[in-house]
Structure 1
Amino acid sequence: MTALQRVSLPGSEDERREEWTLVLEEMEGEVIDAERSIRGNRAEEIAAWGRRMEDWVPPSALGPLPMDLRERAARLLQHQLAVAEELVERITQSQRQRDLAARMAYRPRPVAAFVDRAL
Structure 2
Amino acid sequence: MTAAHSADEQRRAEWTTVLEEMEVEVLDAERSIRGNRAEEIAAWGRRMADWTPPSALGPVPVDLRERAAHLLQHQLAVAEELVERITQSQRQRDVAARMAYRPRPVAAFIDRAL
Q: For the superposition of Structure 1 and Structure 2, which TM-score range results when normalised by the shorter chain?
A: 0.7 to 0.9
Task: Tell me how far 1:64 sits from its aligned partner.
Answer: 1.0
Aligned length: 111
| Percent identity for Structure 1 against Structure 2 | 82
Look up the equivalent residue of 2:42 and give its one-letter code: A
Give how far 1:88 is off: 0.2
How far apart are 1:114 and its partner, in Å? Answer: 7.8
Q: 2:27 aligned with 1:32, yes or no?
A: yes
Q: CA RMSD in A?
A: 2.2
1:85 and 1:69 map into 2 onto residues whose CA distance is 24
* Gap runs ≥5 in structure 2: none
Structure 2 distance, partners of 1:114, 1:38, is 51
Residue 102 of structure 1: SS of its match in structure 2?
Answer: helix
Mapped to 2, the partners of 1:36 and 1:48 lie a distance apart of: 13
Corresponding letter in the other structure for 2:25: E
* Counterpart selection for 1:92 from 81, 87, 93: 87
Normalised by the length of structure 1, the TM-score is 0.84
Structure 1: give runs of 5+ residues left out of the alignment. Answer: none
From 37, 46, 53, the counterpart of 2:41: 46
- Equivalent AA in structure 2 for residue 36 of structure 1: R
Q: Aligned partners of 1:33 and 1:89: how far apart in 2?
A: 17
